[in-house]
């Protein structure tokens, strides 16, 4: 979809983050098809929650450092959509 519209995946995720943050989108209802596979999601959730407890925010760089290079920032951003409460 990103390529078809001439935008990057990062741009689309940024728009989704804004829509989730302001309550326009409900990830569980509207974005379930984007949710990572359960095992990967649970792993990312644990890293993001650990980062939240330590830093007070679900920061991507510390979470990615915990997980290693097999987890991309974009994948973490999508997972984080399902953990944000507006």
- The answer to whether residue 86 is domain-embedded is no
- The answer to whether residue 55 is domain-embedded is yes
Q: Is the model's pLDDT at 1 over the cut of 90? A: no
- The answer to whether residue 45 is domain-embedded is yes
Distance of CA 80 to the CA centre of its chain: 3
Give the whole-angstrom CA distance, residue 25 versus residue 12.
14
Q: By three-state DSSP, how is residue 1 classified?
A: coil
Residue 42's domain comprises: 2-81
Q: Show the tokens assigned to 62.
A: 């510390």
DSSP letter for 37, please. P
The number of domains in the chain is: 1
Q: By three-state DSSP, how is residue 48 classified?
A: helix
pLDDT in tens, 63-83: 999 999 999 999 999 999 999
pLDDT in tens, 12-42: 999 999 999 999 999 999 999 999 999 999 9
Q: Is the model's pLDDT at 2 over the cut of 70? A: no
- Residue 50, CA distances (Å) to 44, 56, 86 in order: 10, 10, 20
């Amino acid at each position: 979809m990103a390529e078809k519209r001439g935008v990057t995946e990062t741009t689309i995720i940024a728009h989704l983050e804004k829509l989730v943050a302001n309550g326009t989108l409900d990830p569980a209802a509207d974005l379930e098809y984007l949710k990572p596979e359960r095992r990967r999601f649970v792993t990312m959730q644990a890293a993001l929650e650990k980062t939240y407890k330590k830093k007070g925010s679900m920061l991507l760089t510390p979470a990615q450092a915990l997980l290693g290079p097999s987890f991309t920032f974009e994948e973490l951003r999508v997972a984080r959509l399902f953990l944000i409460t507006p």
